[in-house]
Structure 1
């Protein structure tokens, strides 16, 4: 961790424990405590106490590389639970309660690894969005409470590596609720999608590399 808000940046903390590449991290403050979670090629999800500079939890349920980790705002806001969501090359998405050292849910059924995650609250329901590594590399979303696939986007032909869910009412959406996904991919494009209709609204080209 670095202090980037001062004239001379300095290293604040170093967290060691993973035995292979760290693919993704997320940060959150829960009950006035600061936490970082991390996912690694060592197949583990780890949780770090920032204030005390130590690892407090390690989860070994994935059988392949952990590609993405996110703190679940849904579980904290509605149930005061300290929960992490992780996606993996083992084709699963899992939820972990790191306060009680417990795996809560596993989403199965995908035929290739899941490379990314994002949460979006809308219409009173909480969804988790992911990028699925598949022949057509679909994006999908799931209702956490019901646990099923609710929509699919089809345009990509190579791996999607990042998505962000945003509310945009001024980009010419006809119908729909104005909720959109912005995605970036190895095909060198950025695309904007309408969540309700699953239609592609815009595509931005110009990058020469991934």
Structure 2
């Protein structure tokens, strides 16, 4: 489908899709972060509570919180619903270009131009780890989704470092030989990718950081990269105006898209339906995948014929998604026996039923109050012999000493007498 083009105020430095449906996406540009709807491509929320240029906004896995850094060195945590600032993390002395959540959502990763990588504990707002072995700006980083103790970072000092939170130190250092702009960790955590200069490099972590592949499909520096929704393709964006799609089997280009301006950021939705690309001139391109006519025809052929058993049992195995609106069914309240008699104005039966069912004192007293208000107490007690009066008299003897019930029960006793 033809892309939707939106003009932002400044260069689009970061784009991130929400991992949870409906996969809205956060666009970082200038001093604000805008959250776009994946269905209407319109702005849903605007967060502009930054004192300087914002960087690297990321949406948490549940889609409820957003974290972003800024040029003053602050890392701020926002509630996406109210846009309120929930946490302000202070400690960096340079602009923070990298932010991200840990897989458990209780920690935040940040990388700064002060050459450090920090891990923050959200509940206490404190820094639990500081890695300072980089020699230049840290412009890329993320936490391993399969192991929250492993953190990958890339720097303008031409190195990619794998940090281990358990040892609080650098486990592996890989020499990219160009300023590193973006890094990725493959599913499973065995391989990582780094992009810098016009080269994409694949490293074997299990092999001690051994270089497996180096490819150069762009004419200028690669500024960003991302997996597709199934992690079978890698998309790279470059200053040469191109986004290229690589097959991870052989790292050859299977598709290429040209844009009007240098590409600075890109992201793919988890369901592979959207590709959002940000450019250095402030242009934001949103492409939506259209279902092919052949797929539609195949779906129509599979349509069930009315009147068949399959037609009537369709959807029985369907499970609702988190974004579905669930309408609760109202359960009809079942009346107790004494309530049924009361509704039928059978006051004597109602009194007998509530005493026979051994209901709590407050329920029996409430029924007696209701009978008094209805003027039906004499009708409920009248015409009874000695045996029929035993349950109510025993109840009065047990509860008349309770100050809460004594006045009412004295009135009932007077009616009996």
Q: TM-score range by the shorter chain?
A: 0.7 to 0.9
Greater helix fraction, Structure 1 or Structure 2: 2
Partner of 1:173: none
RMSD over equivalenced CA pairs, Å: 2.0
- Write out per-residue CA displacement over residues 176-204 of structure 1, whole angstroms, 9 at most, x where no aligned residue: xx921112222222211112222111111
Which among 70, 79, 86 is matched to residue 153 of structure 2?
86
Shift of 1:27: 0.8
| 1:55–1:13 distance in 2 versus 1, CA, 3 Å | same
- Write out per-residue CA displacement over residues 43-75 of structure 1, whole angstroms, 9 at most, x where no aligned residue: 11111111221211111111111111111234x
CA distance in 2, matches of 1:120, 1:27: 17
- Write out per-residue CA displacement over residues 68-90 of structure 1, whole angstroms, 9 at most, x where no aligned residue: 1111234x2xxxx6121111111
Partner of 1:117: 183
Which among 243, 247, 269 is matched to residue 194 of structure 1?
247
Alignment of 1:155-170 (within 5 A): 155-166=217-228
CA distance in 2, matches of 1:48, 1:91: 25
Q: Aligned pair count? A: 186
Partner of 2:335: none
Which among 135, 142, 145 is matched to residue 70 of structure 1?
142
Partner of 2:78: 2
| 1:15–1:167 distance in 2 versus 1, CA, 3 Å | closer
Partner of 2:236: 183
CA distance in 2, matches of 1:40, 1:100: 22
TM-score scaled by length of structure 2: 0.42
The answer to whether the 8 Å contact 1:40/1:67 transfers is yes
Partner of 1:107: 174
Shift of 1:140: 1.0
Partner of 2:48: none
CA distance in 1, matches of 2:139, 2:196: 11
| 1:116–1:10 distance in 2 versus 1, CA, 3 Å | same
Which ranges of structure 2 fall in alignment gaps of 5 or more residues? 1-76, 262-278, 281-417
CA distance in 2, matches of 1:159, 1:39: 21
CA distance in 2, matches of 1:29, 1:52: 18
TM-score scaled by length of structure 1: 0.80
Shift of 1:167: 6.0
CA distance in 2, matches of 1:94, 1:42: 16
The answer to whether the 8 Å contact 1:119/1:165 transfers is no
Greater strand fraction, Structure 1 or Structure 2: 1
> 1:13 aligns to what SS in structure 2?
strand
CA distance in 1, matches of 2:259, 2:171: 42
Which ranges of structure 1 fall in alignment gaps of 5 or more residues? 169-177
Name the larger-Rg structure.
2
Partner of 2:202: 141
